[in-house]
Chains A and B, each alone.
Chain A
Amino acid sequence: MNAPARHELYVLEEGEKPVEITDDTKIPNAATIKVVKQDHTLANMVRGELLRMNNVLFAGYKVPHPLHPYFLIKLQTDGSETPVKVLSQACTKLIGDLSSLEQKFQREFSFKDARVDGPAGDDPYGTGAGGQAWAAGRDYLDF
């Protein structure tokens, strides 16, 4: 059995560097960043955010081979910022969006929680069970 461990697809190996930055030798203010052990989930989101930034001239990503767990993100800026800095800014912006969304979700859920406890709702098998798991016991938010 020489199959590689399945978690090698998403867990960094001992001492493995998560990114490699290569500055472009021919295009000014451009870099290619190789991000290891990540996939479209991260890449597409970051690329989308980069394209919304005003000082980005080009941003694109590719997963060169579906069986190799890394992606390359290539970006060029207009020179006001380095590509690496712009990438960090994009990620910071996304984190901000995500955490504000998280708060909004928590607020919405706290409004709706009352209804889950009530008679409404089918159980996972559509048998209209009286609840136990999430209604009665401790919720994940309690921890």
Chain B
Amino acid sequence: MEPSVQVRDLKRDRVNFVLENVDLSFANSLRRVMMAEIPTVAIDIVEVEMNTTVLPDEFIVHRLGMIPLNSMNCDEALRYNRDCTCSVSCRYCAIQLVLRVSCNDNETLHVTSDHLEVVAQTSYDDEGEVGDELSKRSEEFGHPVGKGNPNHQPVLICKIRKGQELRVKCTAKKGIAKEHAKWSACSAVSFEYDPYNKLRHTSHWFEVDERAEWPLSDNAKEEEPPRENEGFDYNAVPKRFYFEVETVGSVSPQEVVLKGLRELQAKLANLILAVQSTSDMPSIEGADVPAQMAMQPPGPAWGAPVATSPNNPYASPSGGQTGAWGGGSDQWSGRGSGTSPSSNTGWNSTSPSWDSGSGAWGGASSWNI
């Protein structure tokens, strides 16, 4: 069965859709990639020139980092600072913003994201290779979300009273939420399947009456309720997945979903290429891998640079068959090193993806806020 999708609702900041005829692992990967691997722009470096507010510098800097900045088409409109050839940052790899507010009235002044101004960067000597990034930007690229819209409530940074001042210079960079959650394009991705719990993927704890204490979600209307005394179908697998993707406003929900799908394709294409260039050594039967398998990803849509054969960094002739395991005798000796719980060392073979259910924030470093 072909995978299919039905968009139930689309709003400015959210999309609700039903994904059908896909594997649980597939749906979960889509969820994870939308949460953690959509590139956006966020303030990354802040130079505090003057801060006489009641909040300490670190506090304000952290709040600035969390402000969503317009990141439409961020893939092409900005390059990663780490990939840029400039010495520190330039207009191709960073957006400069300033915040200069002082209070001279007797009323409390609210410093908000609307006070952040993008500084137009002119060209100068120390910038990276010339690229077409600038032409890929919309006018609002890098501006705080909703700035200039009278109906939009800005993000409060701090409150200042008479005589207090806040002057900062910010450098916004491109990044993904795997590195820091401030780059997440999504504030929430909800993901539900099997609203009646027919598959027994969870067990409902209850006092007296399970049905009264576990109200059904709205998605239950989409599925047939189980009949009385229906037997347990141990071959059943989840097929319908109910998604709601809620963005922070930096990227449209359409873009989040489509970029997520692209990102997954890029990952897979890179894996195919890598596997083939590694196994194309004469020692292995992979030499007859059909040429059509060397999927050349189409065009510039592929976010991550895909290695192509001429300068393929993977194609070193030394091969990956041996080594690394020290003779390949006892491959699993490194298993369960120390502190990790046993669930991390077991093979996630047949059971559905429980361990990865906990989501994209798995790596500890994601929390370095």
User: Which A residues lie at the B interface, using CB under 8 A?
Assistant: 5-7, 9-12, 15-23, 25, 32-35, 38-42, 44-49, 51-52, 58-67, 69, 74, 82, 84-85, 87-89, 91-92, 94-95, 97-102, 104-106, 108-109, 111-113, 115-116, 120-125, 127-135, 137-141, 143
Q: Which B residues between 166 and 210 are near A, CB-CB below 8 angstroms?
A: 176, 178-180
Task: Indicate if the CB atoms of A101 and B33 lie closer than 8 Å.
Answer: no
Minimum CB–CB distance for B149 against chain A, Å: 5
* Alpha-carbon distance A133/B276, docked complex (angstroms): 43
- A132's closest neighbor in chain B, by CB? B149
Provide the bound-state CA to CA distance between A23 and B324, in Å.
12
B26 to chain A, nearest CB (A): 6
Smallest distance from the beta carbon of A75 to chain B beta carbons, Å? 10
10 closest cross-chain pairs (CB), A and B: A48-B25, A129-B151, A60-B349, A60-B347, A40-B356, A121-B11, A45-B29, A18-B274, A20-B320, A124-B249
Contacts of A115 in B (CB 8 A): 10
- Assess the B348–A61 pair: CB atoms within 8 A: yes
Contact of A123 among B13, B26, B278 (CB under 8 A): B13
Interchain CA distance A108-B289 in the complex, whole Å: 37
Can you list 6 contacts pairing A with B, beta carbon distance less than 8 Å? A41-B29, A48-B25, A104-B5, A138-B72, A140-B255, A141-B254
Q: Is the CB of A48 within 8 A of B271?
A: no
Q: Which residues of A contact B362 (CB under 8 A)?
A: 39-40, 66
Across-interface contacts of B340 in A (CB, < 8 A): 64-66
Is there contact, CB below 8 Å, between A58 and B267? Answer: no
Q: Provide the B238-266 mask, 1 if CB < 8 A to any CB of A, else 0.
A: 00000000011101101101100110110
Q: Please tell me if the beta carbons of A106 and B258 are within 8 angstroms of each other in the complex.
A: yes
A139 in contact with B295 given A84-B286, A127-B152 (CB within 8 Å): no
Count CB-based A-B contacts (< 8 Å): 302
Check if A18 sits within 8 Å of B270, measured CB to CB: yes
Instruction: Count how many chain B residues have C-beta atoms less than 8 Å from C-beta atoms of the other chain.
Output: 106
Contact B145–A133 (Cβ < 8 Å): yes
Q: Quick check: A19 and B278 within 8 Å, CB to CB? A: yes
- What residue in chain A is nearest B254 (Cβ atoms)? A109
Further 4 A-B residue pairs, CB within 8 A, beyond A74-B347, A141-B254, A143-B136: A84-B284, A102-B265, A105-B17, A143-B76
**Are A131 and B12 within 8 A (Cβ)?**
yes
CB atoms of A67 and B5 under 8 A apart: no
Q: Please state if A62 and B274 are interface contacts (CB–CB under 8 Å).
A: no
- B152–A104 CB distance below 8 A: no
> Known: A17-B314, A17-B316, A134-B252. Is A40-B12 also a contact (CB below 8 A)?
no
B254 near A133: Cβ-Cβ < 8 Å: no
Contact with B363, one of A17, A66, A99 (Cβ below 8 angstroms): A66
Interface residues of B in 1-31 (CB under 8 A from A): 2-7, 10-13, 17, 19, 22-26, 28-29
